[in-house]
């Protein structure tokens, strides 16, 4: 059985991304560096979501960990 993610925030984390840079979004919710991974998932069966920023600027990353389009917020927090 998969662990359930910890809901950090019922809303997105606005973050500044750099085009072409690799990022690792925390899928478990245990990271102290939200919304990014700090390795805390090792105590779970979850893994971070690796992604490359498609452009420079602000992105809204999921804080509730229930997005259907991770790592980006899709409004799923409104259903929690």
Residue-wise pLDDT for 15-73, tens only, equals 999 999 999 999 999 999 999 999 999 878 899 999 999 999 999 999 999 999 999 99
Nearest 5°: phi and psi at 42?
Answer: -60, -20
Measured distance CA(4)–CA(23) in Å, rounded? 22
Q: For 30-39, write each residue's pLDDT tens digit.
A: 999 999 999 9
Q: What pTM was computed for the model?
A: 0.91
């Amino acid at each position: 059985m998969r662990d359930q993610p910890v809901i950090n925030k019922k809303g997105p984390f606005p973050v500044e991304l750099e085009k072409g840079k690799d990022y690792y979004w925390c899928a478990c919710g245990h990271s102290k560096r939200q919304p990014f991974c700090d390795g805390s998932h090792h105590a779970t069966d979850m893994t971070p979501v690796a992604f490359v920023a498609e452009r420079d600027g602000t992105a809204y990353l999921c804080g509730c960990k229930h997005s259907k389009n991770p790592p980006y917020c899709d409004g799923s927090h409104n259903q929690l």
